[in-house]
Each structure stands twice: as C-alpha cells, then as structure tokens.
Amino acid sequence: MSSFTSCFYRRRKFQPISTTTNMKKYDVYLSFCDEDPDFFVLGIYKGLTSGSGINVFWDNKRIKRGDQEVPTSVLNVIGDCKLVVIVFSTNYFNSRWCLQELEKITECCRTTDSRLMLLTFSFFYNGVHLVLGYPDTDFFEREAFHDFLDRIYKKEISQQGDKFMSWVAAISHNKAITYAGSTYLGHVFTNRIEREHIENVVELATRVITEKRDMFNVFYTESLNSRVQDVTQLLKQSKSPLILGIWGMPGIGKSTIAKAIYGQVGSYFRHKCLIENVKRSVQNKTYTLVSLQEKIILDMAREPENDISTIVSGKVILKERLHSKRVLLVLDDVDNLEQLHALCGSREWFGEGSKIIITTTNRQLLKEHGADHIYRVKELDENESLELFNWKAFSQATSQEGFAELSRQVVAYSGGLPLALTDLGIHFNSETVDIWECKLHNFTRHFYNGVQGTLESSFNDLNDEEKQVFFDIAYFYIGIDQHDVVQSLNSSTHCTNLLISLLEDKSFVTIDENNKIQMHVLLQATAEAIITRESSNKTDQPKMYDVFLSFRGEDSRAKFMSHLHSSLQNAGIDTFRDDDEIQRGDQISISLLKTIGQSRISIVVLSKNYANSRWCMLELEKIMKIGRDRGLVVVPVFYEVDPSDVRHQKGQFGKGFDDLTSKISVHESTKTRWQRDLYEICGIAGFVLIDSRNESADIKNIVEHVTRLLDRTQLFVAEHPVGVESRVEAVTKLLNIQKAEDVLLLGIWGMGGTGKTTIAKSIYNKVGRKFEGRSFLLGIREFWETHTNQVSLQQQVLCDVYKTTALKIRDIESGKNILKEKLSKNRVLFVLDDVDELDQLKALCGNREWFGPGSRIIITTRDMDLLRSCGVDQVYTIEEMDESESLELFSWHAFKQPSPTEDYATHSADVIAYSGKLPLALEVLGSYLSNCEITEWQKVLEKLKCIPHDQVQKKLKVSFDGLKDFTEKQIFLDISCFFIGMDKKDVTAILNGCGFFADIGIKVLVERALLTVDNRNKLRMHDLLRDMGRQIIYEESPSDPEKRSRLWRCDEVQDILSRDKGTEAVKGLALEFPRKDCLETKAFKKMNKLRLLRLAGVKLEGDFKYLSGDLRWLYWHGFPETYTPAEFQQGSLVAIELKYSKLNKIWNTSQMLENLKNLNLSHSLDLAETPNFSYLPNLEKLVLKDCPSLSTVSHSIGSLHKLLMLNLTDCTGLQTLPRSIYKLKSLETLILSGCSKIDKLEEDLEQMESLITLIADKTGITKVPFSIVRLKSIGYISLSGFEGFSRDVFPSLIRSWMSPSNNVISLVQTSVSMSSLGTSKDLQKLRIICAKCDSELQLTRDIARFLEVLKATNCQNLEASASSTASEISDMHASPVSDCIGHFRNLGSKNHLKSLLIQMGTKCQISNVAEDSVLQTADGTWDLFLLGCDNKSDWLTFSCKGCSIIFDVPTMKGSYLKSMMLYIVYYSCLENITSEGFQEHNLKSRTW
C-alpha cells in the first residue's frame, strides 16, 4: 500500500456507523466528469466491484452527456449510498451533470441523519493541486466554482437566516473528512502509476465500507468537532455581516476552534484572511496594526496595498475595498479595542454574508465592539479530556494498558483545559509508569509550569486592584456566594462588585447558577504559585518577625494574649499581633498571609470560639501549609479547650466550627482542608492550659520554649534538593522517633559525593524541633585534621543543646564527663557528619548511656567498619539516583530548569552516563557546562574521560587518602586498572600472591565504599572512583607514561612497547587488540617489577626470558603459541589465564609452579593433554571449559590435594575420568556438563568428602553411584539430559538420600516397606527438595512414592496418606490435594512442618522460591502456597489453625500436569540450626 493510504489511516480516527434504520441500498456513488479521468474512474469501479462485494452505482447514460440534466432517479440514488467518491478534475465544474450531482451531495450531507451521515472522499486529478491539505486557488478560485457558489448562495438566501452558510456548514462538515482523506493524483504519466492510485482508492473505500467506520481527522476530536458545530450554527443566523466572538480563559481552545472553522468553510469564501496571535504579534512588534491592515488587503484582494501610511488611512482603504465583498475574517487573540477598530471597524466595512470571528479572553471587548454572538468555550468534560490527552500521550484515543488510572489523575489535575492536556500528554509521552507516578506526585506539591507562563501572561494584564481581588478569591472565596464576597471585600477594596465583574469578563472567575464564585483549578494553582514565589523570594531576606500570633480575640485578648505578647516582647522576641481583626471581621488580607511566611514561629492559641472565625481558620490553613512546605515552626496552645475537642471538632469548639461552615457555605474541599489542619495541629507538641491556676508560669514556659526554638538555626540543605525527600523519609522511618524510651544510633553510609551530608541536614531540619536539644557537627574529619583545638567541638555540642557558653571544657577527657552528665538528662538529636576515626566518636558521643531516653544519634561516614565498631542500631546505605532524578539535578545546574533543552538532551544523557548518577558530579559538571556552547560539550566530555574534574576528584580522593595501609591503596589501584568485573576469590588469590593481604584489604575497600561485590561475587567500582584511581596513577608522571606504576591506555602502552621505553616503575600493564598486533618481547626487558600482565589479541616475538620473573598474573586472550616457551619464568605466577589459545599443551617441559592457584585454559580448541599436575601442588582452581580435543585427564590430578574447583564443561572429546580424581578430598565443585562421552560416575565418588556441587547435565551418564547419598557436604546435584535416569535412578536417589542405610536397589524393584525407611532423624537434615519431571508417568510414580517415603520416614510426627493415579493427575478439574499428596498433621515434635509449597504445571518449569515467600509463624499456623507454573493460576495462600490442611488443586482443563514442586520448611530449634546449618538439595531430571 502506498504512503498516501498508510498516512491517511495514521491520521484518522474511526467510529462505528449505526445501521439500525434506513439501510443503504448502494455502497458507493462515483461523481466524476467523464471528459477527464474515464480510465481512472472505470478502474475504481472495477476494483470495487470485483471480489470486494461492494455495490457501486453506475449509470452508462451519463457518459459523454456533461451538459444534460441528471435524471431525478439518479440523484435519488445518492441518498441511498454510504459513500460518495468525488473525483475533482479540470472540467468538473464545467459539467452541468457534475454540478447537479454536487448540489445533491451537499443537500444529502446537510439533511441526512447524523448517525447515517453520508461520507465523501475527494480526489484531485490531473492538474488540480493541493496546498497544505486543501485545494489551492488553481481549483477553488476558478470562476466555474464560484459561479456554482453564487448560484447556491442566491438559491439559499432568505430572510430567516444565512441559508448559504447552512449549505457551507453541511458540505464543510464533510469537508473535514473529505480533505483529510483527499489526495492529489497529479499528472498521470504511466499506467503503472495510475494503477497504484486506483488501488489506493479502492483499498481505502473498501476498508471504510467493510469496517463501517465514521472518519474524522485526529485533530478533529469529538470535543473540537462539537464546538465547531456549535459556532457554525451561530454563523448561520444572519445574512448580514455577522461578528461572532469566541471567548474563554487562556488555553481553553479558542484559537483551535477558530482555525478549524476557517479550515472548514474558508474555501467557500473568495475573500478570506486569518490573523493569528494579534496580541503577541503587536506586543512583540512582529507586526504593527498598519502591517496587519496590509495583510488583510493582500489576503482578501490578492494584491499588495502600498498606500496605507497610518491606521486611520488603513481603515478607510479596508472599508473601501471590502464593503461589497463577502468575506471571512478571523482575528485571533485580540486584547484591546484599538486592535478591533483598526482591523474590523464595523459591519459596514463588509459585504452581505460576511463573517468576522474574533477570539479573546476579554468578553467586555466583544460587548463594546457590538458582537452579534459571544460563544463561551467551556472546559472539556472527563471523556473529552481523556480523548485529547490520550492522543498526545499515546497517539490513540484510549489509554495504553496500565495507564488508565494514571491518565484519569492527569485529566483531573488539568481541569479540562486543552492546553494543559496537550502539554501534559506530550510531557508524559513514552514515559514509564514509575516516571508517571513520580511526576504526578511532584505535581501535587509543585505546580506544573508547562501552562503557567500562558496563565501568568493574562494575569500580568490585570491592574493592581484586579490582581488583589483575584488573589483573595483564589485563596479564600471559591464556592462562596457572590453577595457575601462583595460584602466581605468592600471593607478593604473599593468597587468590589465591578472588579469581580471585570475578572469574570477576563475569564479569571465564573459565577455559577447558584451565584457562587468559581475559578478554574489551574488559575487557583497559578495564584498560589505566584504568592509562593513572592514569599519564597522574601524568605531569603531576614525574617520580619520572630513570632506570629494567631488567636480569637473575643476569647483571650483581654488578659492572656496581652500578657503573652508583652512577655515575648520583653524577652527580645519580635512578635506580630494583628490588632485589626475586630475591625476587619472575616476578611483576611494577602499582606497578612505574607507576614506569616516572613515569621520564624507561629503560636496558635486555640480557644473555644477559634473555629467560629473564618479569619482564624484561614490563618490556620496558611500557617499549617507553610509549616509543611517551608518549615515554619508551629506551637499550639490549647486555651481552655481540650485538644481532643479540637482534633475531632467536638464540644463547644466543634459547634463553633459547624456554625461557621454552615453560615458561610464553605466548599466541601475547604472544609476538609480545615479539618485536616485541626487534626494535624493537635499532633504537634504544645501547651494545654485548662483551669490553670498560675497563668504567669504558663506564659513563662511558653516564652522559654520559643526562646530555645529561635536559637535553632535551620541548615542550608541544597540549592536543588532533587531526590532528597524520598531518602529522608526512608531514614526517618529507621529513626523511629515515636519510640521515645530508647536511644538509637543510626549510620548513613556511602561513597563520597552521594549526598550523605545533604540527607543528614534535611533530617536535622525536619525532625530537630521534636527534640529538647539538638546539635549538628559538620565536617568532623576535616576539622580533626586541620585543628588542634578539638575540645571546641565538645564545647559546640553544649552550646547548641543548652544555648550557653558558661560551661567551659579544659580538655578532651573532662569534656567527655561533662557531655555525659549533661546530655543524659535530655532527649537530643545529635548529628556527627563525615566521621572517619573511632576516636572522634569516643570524644563526642561516647556510648548510648551519654544520652537521655528517646535521643537519636546520626553518623555519616564512608567507613562501614567504623559504624560496626561503635555499635549502631541501623545503617542506611545511600541509594543511587535513578535516571530521572539524575537528569533533573543535572538540568537544574546546567540549564536552571528541571529538564534539558531539546538541543542538549543527548549530550545531557552522555554526562549522566559519565557521572554514574553521582550527585556531586552532576552538580559540579552541570555548573561547569552551564556556560558552554553545545559544540564545547563533546570536547569537555572527552577531556573528562581522560582527566576527571578536579572538584569531583578532590572529594572522592578523600576516601583513598583515608586508607592507612599502603597495601590497601595498592589493592585499590590494581583493581581500578585491571580487575573490575572479575571474581573476588580469583582477585584475592592474585593480590595475596603480591603480598597485599587482599582478604583484609578488599574487605576494607568495601567498608569504605570504594568497592562493591555483586551477587555473582564479581568486583564492581563506581566509574568515577575508577577514574579517580587511574587519575592518581596518571599524576605519578603526567608527561612520561613509562614512569607510571600501571599502564592501561592502549595508545600509551603500544607506544612504550614499540619504542622500548619501559621502566622498572611499571607494576601492571594491559594491552588489548592494538593496531600493531606483533611486538617484541625485548620491550619488557626493563620492566623487571611487572606483577600484572593482561593481553588480548597480541603476538610477541623474541625471547620470553625478558618477561618479568615477578609476574603474579598472566591473562593472555588468544595466546598464539602451541606451548609456553621454556625460557618464560613462571615460578611466581599465581594465576594463568590463556583462554582462546592455540595451545596443544601448556608446557613442553614441566615446570614446578608452587605458587600457581588458578589455571584457566578454556576455549583452547587444540589442547590435547593436561599438564603433569604433580608440578602444581597448590592449584585450587582448574578450568578447562570447551576444550574438545582433550581426550584424557592426567592421572596425576589426584595429587592436587588443595583443588577446590574442577570445570570440564563441554570437553566433548573426554571419554573417562581417571579413578584418581575421586581422591580429591578438598574438591568442592565438579562440573562435567556437556561431556557427552562420559557415561558413568564411579562408586568412589563418596571419597570426595568436601563436594558441595555436582553438575553433570547433558552427559552420557545413565548410572549414578548410590554412594552419592553418603557425601557429607553435598548441597546441589544436577543430572539432566537422558532418558532412564528419571525413571530408575531419580526415585532411588530421593529414597537413599532420606534413608542412606537401606539397600537402595531393592527399593526400586520392590514395594516400599513402612518399617525399612529409616528414622525421622534422616529427614530432619532435609530442608529443600526441588524436583523437575517431564512425563506424566514419572510424576505419578515418582512423586507419589516419594510422598509415601516422606510419610513413612516421619511416621512418628506426621500422619499421611498418599494415593495418586495417572487419571487423577491428568484430569485435575476438581480433585482435592489430599488425593494427591496426602494429609499432614503436626503432633508437636521439635521439628514441625511449618510450610508446604506445591508447584504444579504443564511447562516443566520450576520457579525459584524466594526466601520471603514462605512466612513462618511461631504459633503453629500452617502456610501453604500454590503456584501454577504455566501462568494459568496465581499464588494462592492458605492458612489455618490446627493440625491439617486440605485445599483444592486448581483446574487445568485442556492441559496435562507435567511438573510438581514440593517445598517443605521446618521450624528447627536453635541447636539444630547451629550444628547442622541449612542444607538444600536440588535434583533435576528431564526426558528429551
């Protein structure tokens, strides 16, 4: 299908056509001029009628009769069709027949039931062109067409209205369909091209007919289409020049409606003009009013006008040129009368039938200009909003799976505003569910700024009085009766009624049918954002007041409030008290709200009638909001009222609240907010003064409390605290502040630059006021290093907590005693930042006995061992930032906005990848790049990869410098250059061979957050830490690489080796796939201290004696020789890795390598023999994977008394194993998978007393030695692959495992004896059995027998019955599990059966059981989990009291059960767990 058709369907939306009545007789009617495209139309006809089953009307009489009348019978057929295909061609409008058809088509379009609406497709053939989707003047400006229009116009004109406009509306309603589906077929040069066009038309028409779909352009959503039709109906109502205004708030879709109308009906006006964004064009001086006048004349008359010199002369010329013409003029976004007077003067300017459409946010302009109709654009309803949003977010009319509820939340947030829906749709497009949830959460806290600029632009056009009233309404009067609002505001604002009316005209407020004032939710948010921004700007300035007093004057003013206010003032506390409350009644000013934001503390005196005052409740709402958002300290005072009455609005306090909410008709949302605030303030520690006998003492306590609070300085957290909040919440939970009786120590641990201090500061600010005293010691490590007066830190703690300098400390030891004595009496919050030595903790926080009950001590450090040493209760490991957090933080510093500009998006992603999401790096690099041009970014990134940024480097290097041991630093540098991603155990062996005590050193690096070990035991390091380590090496000799201790950069290494520049300074070298793959061994001559050598794709020529005798690690990928040269000194090597080598044998002459622990020759395809292992006495790991030429293993392998692992995977040429291999008592892992010629294991296997893991999948083994069950340490066995094993060996293995003293062979051949299956002691060692079976027969026999053994083995503790047949298993529709696995009962033994997991399914897949899937309880409750591994059932959890469980097996109709997993968990006593540990047995058997 050609691009036209596919594009068409991408752009359209389809809906079903109702066919309940008036079934159409014909499917398609073809309208065409037979003088032009005869072959083309005939091709369409044949294509539609042949094979598609489409009924097409065709009249042979019309051929060559262009000037004849169309018979009525033919015209009537048009109304009987579902679809009309119109082929506009050069002579179409010269044909009388065609014009009559078109008139009938338009009549049908206008009069047909909308549910059965006639569809039209228009195609423009051979010379009829399209411009921007609409036919241009080459067609619609032709005289023939306009003569046709004139006839229609004269025919339709009447006194009742503009019938011509009705005709235009009818045809143009379909025109939205027509032109969206139209195509320009152009000049047809070849039959092939014409055939392609015919196929397109046929396919398009066929799809529409068969699918019975109504087609609309996606831009014409249902909501837009509805509004366009509403406006079009208004345009019909007069034949005189008609002025119509489209009015509504910014972003409501006024311009979209106007443009849609212009697009639909514009082609039917010979003279038309659309001027977009009049307001912005004039304000930005893109156009003047004179130039806009010239544009109108140019568009209308098709010729430039050079005589307009002033606006006045332009008016004259416009009137002169247009007064006799029928015109369509659209003026978009007009904002003052001058613009209207200049561009559309009055009706007299235009001829009969003219239409002038004006869009504006100001209804008053339209009234003053004398608009005939004013159409108010309302918000979209929920369904309309969802449709528009979905198109933008998902490019379809419905939400994608998993996003429906989130989409509804976005729609609710947008309030039905099309601009917001469009912008949010684009904003959320292609994002994941997690990102949606995160952004929506942010929107609830911070106004989305995507539409704020548009709304604020209109706000800025208001005068100061209008702005003030707008703020007042937005904050306090939404949902309030207009009369009450006017009465309330009149006391402070003149002409309130007029101002509200002006705001309504300017689309800022609406008055509903109940005379209540309403405001769009995003306008409310805009008002709040503006106030918040202005308040925030002032928070950077000194606070105006220390305390803001909120109180109900009639309750407490006379005595208590006066006394409290004077006491605060006398204490030097600057206190704000609003003395205007009595005069102002219920009105509260914006300036008063700003005062709250400019205060440090608010004392709220809650009295009996407090909640009966709108003033007080509005104050409280603002106080609590600022408290939540910006940390205003709130101190409640319950004056002669019970806190419970306040919390739940009971008693006299509750009556006052109810009276207020009913008296002023408070909106339900406002009432809910007030109730929440009253509830929350009761949860804040304060003062309860009921029947107090000593009011002076009470006031003194309040003043002292406030004095302490004012001394607690808030710490600066971060300029852009991205991601801080979620981490603070996580740490706060660990602090468990509600538990007041204990002292808790918490560590915050992570590498440098991850934000430990930032999080600690934020926690300090957030929870600090809940403690009696608090102190934050910042940067202890640096202070300890640079200051000798360490006593001053102890002094600072006392000063912070007790606000006094009277206590003097002489020395560290006396300071410890003073701190312990003082701090133990109070509940304190103590933060020690960046601690790196235990002595620091001993001097400053001793132990938990130093602190009073409920105290919390937070320690930030890079050293996990330090936290263990001081016995912290909890450790919070800093979470890595995710992608969106990283991008936002970087963007704030680089672009001063939460996301990158479009041009920088790719480069920003590169920076984030480089930074490894490290907050420090993101901030530093963002600031560094903020002033760089885009061309510089790539260069900067390339530089950073070679030379890290000094600020980041300095911060990270602190951890490296803190390593006290030389060997620890060497280990870090070696790993950063060579060992990232390698197995920890292998690296440890290599570095131990270098004398570095790596077991301890790697542990230290992990604890200092310089290194991590993943779940596969691989070493990992943050990219910036890696770069920091390499930069340290680079700085050893910046100009001379050969003088550095480690070399890893390919170009530098190749240069050094090519030019024989090596020195003894080089300890490690890596070179992978160089440009020159052949180098001289002599280049290594001077590198006599070389310990580590990593090569890949390298060939060395020359004498190997030049390689260092100190080598501990040789890694050579693709070793090119057939054996290692004899002169190569290998005596010091700890690890040899020669993977993908050309080796035939590793040594021609054996060498004694006493230090070698790891030998890996994997993927050496030509390796034919193994070495004499007696020369490798200390070998621990031997890996010979994928060595297909290897046929035997040297019998000397039995001499490897320290071998721990042997891996012979895919050694397909290996036929047998030497008997001596079974003497390997130290061997823990044996892997034989893929050794297809090995057909048995010997009974001697039981001699491998240390064997834990045996994997022999896909081998030739058909017999397993039953001695395997006597292995003392075995934990994992996998023997998958060949038929026979599953039926014969598998059952015996299970039984033997559980009862190793039995004659296992007889158990296969005879029935199971209940008395011969051993004791429960054997079963107690079993923890997990995981069985995989393929065949129904195997399942029914093996599993049922196993369960019988299970029952018999533990007969003293379990009562069971097992019976299962093939028919029962294969037809599991309603069979209870008791029929299959029996009935278990707990009789109270030490090892009771606590949980049972059974897995059944048809795909032979047994899932890993997560540790937390089986929850054990101490009361003997049984838990059972059932999982269908074929994804046909969910996890089902069953729980009951007592001694048994019965449950139904899920229905599996149409499927055969092929696998079952039993998961049995025992509750063991502590002695058993300690002595036996955890044993897991996993047996796999598959029949292929």
Q: What is the pLDDT of residues 276-328, one digit of tens each?
A: 899 888 888 878 898 898 888 888 876 666 678 898 988 988 888 888 888 99
H helices of 112-190, in order, are: 137-140, 143-156, 163-180
pLDDT digits (tens, 9 = 90+) for 1023-1053: 888 888 888 998 899 899 999 999 998 889 9
* Residue 1408 pLDDT exceeds 90: no
The Cα–Cα gap between 1193 and 1173 comes to 10
pLDDT at 694 exceeding the cut of 50: yes
pLDDT of res. 1077: 67
Q: Name residue 1207's beta-bridge partners.
A: 1183, 1231
Q: Exposed, middle or buried by CB within 10 Å (0-12, 13-18, 19+), for 899?
A: middle
Residue 1384 — φ and ψ, nearest 5°? -100, 145
Report the chain's mean pLDDT, rounded to a whole number.
75
CB 1425 within 8 A of CB 1435: yes
Name the most confidently modeled range: 70-79, 612-621, 665-674, 1061-1070. Answer: 1061-1070
Torsion angle in degrees (nearest 10) through CA of 913, 917, 920, 923: 70
* Closest among 1396, 1399, 1404 to 1464, alpha carbons compared: 1396
Mapping DSSP onto H, E and C, the string for 324-353 reads: CCCEEEEECCCCCHHHHHHHHCCHHHCCCC
Q: Tell me if residue 1100 falls in helix, strand or coil.
A: strand
Cβ–Cβ under 8 Å, residues 1191 and 1216: no
Residues 6+ apart with CB under 8 A from 312: none
Tokens of 792: 């001053």
Looking at per-residue confidence, does 1169 or 936 come out higher? 1169
Cβ neighbors of 804 (< 8 A, separation 6 or more) are 798
pLDDT of residue 979: 93
The pLDDT-based confidence of 606 (bands split at 50, 70, 90) is very high
Burial of 1328 (0-12, 13-18, 19+ CB in 10 A): middle
Q: Which of 1051, 1020, 1049 is nearest to 1034 (CA)?
A: 1049
Distance CA 341, CA 369 (A): 8
Each residue's pLDDT tens digit, 1181-1209? 999 999 999 999 999 999 999 999 999 99
Residue 246's H or E segment, with its range, is strand 242-247
Nearest Cα neighbor of 109 from 29, 189, 199, 44 is 29
Going by the DSSP 8-state scheme, the letter that residue 1222 receives in this structure is G
Letter for the amino acid at 233? Answer: Q
What is the DSSP track for 1169-1204?
----GGG-TT--EEE-TT-TT-----GGGGG-TT--
Contacts of 66 (CB under 8 A, 6+ apart): 33, 34, 35, 91, 94, 95, 96, 97, 98
Cβ–Cβ < 8 Å for 991, 974? yes
The model's confidence at residue 421, banded by pLDDT at 50, 70 and 90, is confident
pLDDT at 1470: 31
- The better pLDDT of the pair 1014, 1329 is held by 1014
Task: Tokens for 339, please give them.
Answer: 């613009």
H helix or E strand, kind and range, residue 455: helix 452-460
| Cα 270 to Cα 591: distance, rounded to the nearest angstrom | 57
Higher pLDDT, 1289 or 659: 659
Given this model, what pLDDT does residue 806 score? Answer: 62
* Angle, CA 1277 vertex, CA 1274 and CA 1280 arms, to 5°: 165
Strand partners, 1005: none
Amino acid 1344: pLDDT = 54
Highest mean pLDDT among 734-748, 1196-1210, 1386-1400: 1196-1210
The per-residue pLDDT for range 1125-1165, each reduced to its tens digit, is 988 888 899 999 999 999 999 988 888 999 999 999 999 99
Q: What is the mean pLDDT of residues 1331-1358?
A: 48
pLDDT for the residue 1194: 93
pLDDT at 149: 61
- Which tops the pLDDT comparison, 1232 or 46? 1232
Q: Is the pLDDT of residue 813 over 80?
A: yes
The reported pLDDT for the residue numbered 493 is: 66
Distance of alpha carbon 672 from alpha carbon 666, whole angstroms: 10
pLDDT of amino acid 429:
84
Question: 74-88, 189-203, 1058-1072 — which is least confidently predicted?
Answer: 189-203
Is residue 49 within 8 A of residue 84, CB to CB? The reply is no
1213, burial (CB in 10 Å: exposed 0-12, middle 13-18, buried 19+)? middle
| 1256 vs 628, higher pLDDT | 1256
Give the whole-angstrom CA distance, residue 76 versus residue 1048.
87
Q: Are 801 and 828 in contact (CB under 8 A)?
A: yes
**pLDDT at residue number 1373:** 30
Beta bridge partners, 1463, equal 1397
Percent of the chain with pLDDT over 70: 72
* Among 1033, 1034, 1082, 1040, residue whose Cα is nearest residue 1057: 1082
Question: What tokens does 1371 get?
Answer: 């037809």
Three-state DSSP class for residue 217: strand
Contacting residues for 811 by C-beta, under 8 A, at least 6 apart: 791
Residue 797 in 3-state DSSP? Answer: helix
**Residue (of 1238, 1332, 1239, 1354) closest to 1278 by Cα position:** 1332
Please report the pLDDT score of residue 32 as a whole number. 82
How much of the chain, in percent, has pLDDT values that exceed 90?
21
Q: Which two tokens stand for residue 207?
A: 């799809």
Instruction: Decide the pairing of beta strands 1012-1013 and 1019-1020.
Output: antiparallel
- The set of residues, in sequence order, having a beta carbon less than 8 Å from that of 471 and lying 6+ positions away, is 527, 530, 531, 590
Residue 929 has pLDDT above 90, yes or no: no
Cα torsion 152, 154, 160, 165: sign = positive
Q: What pLDDT is recorded for position 1078? A: 81
**Region 485-508: what's the mean pLDDT?**
81
- The neighbour count for residue 821, using CB atoms within 10 Å, is 11
Residues 1446 and 1376: beta-carbon distance below 8 Å: yes
Which residue(s) pair with 481 in the sheet?
516
pTM for this one?
0.46
Task: Check whether 1285 has a pLDDT greater than 60.
Answer: no
| pLDDT beyond 50 at 1365 | no
Residue type, 705: H
Question: b/e map of 307-321 (b: 16 or more CB within 10 Å)?
Answer: ebeebeebbebbeeb
| 1068-1078 pLDDT per residue, tens | 999 988 877 68
Q: How many CB atoms lie within 10 A of CB 381?
A: 11
Q: Tell me the catalytic residues.
A: 619
| 1379 pLDDT above the threshold of 60 | no
Q: Pick the closest to residue 101 from 197, 32, 43, 166 (CA basis).
A: 32
**pLDDT tops 70 at residue 1010:** yes
pLDDT at 832 over 70: yes
d(CA 724, CA 878) in angstroms, rounded, equals 11
The span from the CA of 496 to the CA of 487, in Å, is 8
Q: pLDDT of 125-152, one tens digit each? A: 654 543 333 344 444 445 555 565 665 5
Q: What is each CA distance from 99 to 32, 138, 990, 1463, in whole angstroms?
A: 10, 18, 93, 83
Tell me, what's the pLDDT at 1267?
76
**Measured torsion, CA atoms of residues 1075, 1078, 1079, 1080, in degrees rounded to the nearest 10:** -170
**What's the burial of 941, exposed, middle or buried (CB within 10 Å: 0-12/13-18/19+)?**
middle
Q: What is the pLDDT of residues 949-1008, one digit of tens each?
A: 777 777 778 778 888 889 999 999 999 999 998 999 999 999 999 999 999 999 888 888
Summarised one tens digit per residue, pLDDT across range 444-460 is 555 566 677 788 888 88
What's the gap between Cα 132 and its chain centre?
39
Q: Are strands 242-247 and 355-360 parallel, antiparallel or unpaired?
A: parallel
pLDDT at 790 over 60: yes
- Residue that the structure tokens 């803190």 belong to: 962
Whole-number Cα distances in Å, 1344 to 1326, 1339, 1370, 1422: 18, 7, 14, 22
Q: What is the pLDDT averaged over residues 228-257?
A: 86
Contacts of residue 865, defined as CB under 8 A and 6 or more positions apart, other chains included, come to: 1004, 1007, 1008
pLDDT digits (tens, 9 = 90+) for 1098-1122: 999 999 999 998 999 999 999 999 9
Q: pLDDT-derived band of residue 206, with 50, 70 and 90 as boundaries?
A: confident
Q: Which pLDDT score is estimated for 447?
A: 58
Q: Which amino acid is at 411?
A: V
To the nearest 10 degrees (0 to 180), the angle between helices 651-663 and 668-681 is 160
Residue 287 in contact with residue 281, Cβ under 8 Å?
Answer: yes
